[in-house]
Amino acid sequence: MSRPAFRRAARLAALAALALSGCLSAPPPLNLPDASVIGYQDGRAVPPDCAKLNEPSHLVDAGVRQPSVAFGCATYSNLAVMIARPEDVVAPLPYAGADAATAASAVRRYQEDRIKQPTAPTSTTTTPASPTTSQYAH
């Protein structure tokens, strides 16, 4: 490729990159919520106030700005309802770590090909005609 052709190609590439940069959407907000938005009150995990999580939308459709979005609201509201031990929100139990002996034993069984395969599930159903045994649960 000749020097003038290379310069022209470089200019066209730069111009194309500049033109296409207008197509990019706005960068996502950096203040997205984390699990700290789940509260704790009277022994219960409290879901976040979604109004406080609202972020204005950067999307415009036919000149009309789209509704704002509460990033993480549904996720953390559902998590607050599912927490089995709500005290973990404010005072989590320390993680003691995995038991090294158990892990080493599992690896050794795998390496020595001494892994027990799970048995196939079976169930017995009784109909007025005759009892049958099926491999699959009903």
Instruction: State how far the alpha carbon of 14 is from the alpha carbons of 3, 18, 19, 23, 26, in Å.
Output: 17, 6, 9, 15, 21
**Any idea of the CA torsion for 40, 43, 49, 53, to the nearest 10 degrees?**
40
**pLDDT tens digits along 7-39:** 888 887 777 776 666 666 666 556 677 778 888
**pLDDT tens digits along 28-75:** 556 677 778 888 888 888 888 888 888 777 777 777 777 777 888 888
| Every domain of the chain and the residues it spans | 26-91
Per-residue model confidence (pLDDT) at position 36: 81
- The residue-averaged pLDDT of 79-106 equals 87
